[in-house]
Amino acid sequence: MESQVLKRNVRNVVVAGTLAIGALTATAAPAAAAPIEIPGIGTFEIPGLVLPQMQGAPTGPVAPPMNTTVGERAVEAAHTKLGAPYSYGAAGPNSFDCSGLVQWAYKQAGLDVPRTSYQQAAAGAVVPMSDLRVGDVISFYGGSHSGLYAGNGNVIHASTSGQPVKLAPLASMPVDEARRF
């Protein structure tokens, strides 16, 4: 008798509380039951009631956010500038030189990197070419040119006057080394 009273009281509290906050809707579906969990007490199913989907609420299992590196975020930013014009000494947001693009992209990702290609070639950690990751800064032509490794053997860079920011094969230029920030 005591357990039946406790169950009825818990059910009444669950229903009254849920209705009070507007999160429960009665439906005509006879087989539907909305499981409601009360921490420390248990899970209860209330036949004939379905929790409505609140606007903006997830509709099913939510995958955890993917962890991206600062380099990956920098490449995502650089991708948005494909086609932007080259301009010597420019560091964005509308035109770029090579190191200006690298610096701007990393800044969008939340990291300050050096401004010039020579400074970029001397900063960060040296990375073997066999261990490249998206976002690694690649130095070319003795350090006078830099770009961002975009994966799949490609680099995003602002090459030269008259050429927009573009995606090009890494092998299209003489590589010196890679740096990771």
Active site residue 79: no
Write down the catalytic residue from 73, 81, 157, 179: 157
Contact 157, 168 (CB under 8 A): yes
What would the two tokens of residue 139 be? 């130095």
Give burial (CB, 10 Å; 0-12/13-18/19+) of 10. middle
What are 25's strand-pairing partners? 50
Angle between helices 70-79 and 98-108 (to 10 degrees): 120
Question: In this structure, are strands 145-151 and 42-47 parallel, antiparallel, or unpaired?
Answer: unpaired
Q: Which of 126, 181, 175, 141 is nearest to 155 (CA)?
A: 175
Write down the catalytic residue from 34, 36, 46, 98: 98
Question: In this structure, are strands 125-127 and 137-140 parallel, antiparallel, or unpaired?
Answer: unpaired
Active site residue 100: no
Write down the catalytic residue from 101, 145, 158, 159: 145
Q: Which residues are catalytic?
A: 98, 145, 157
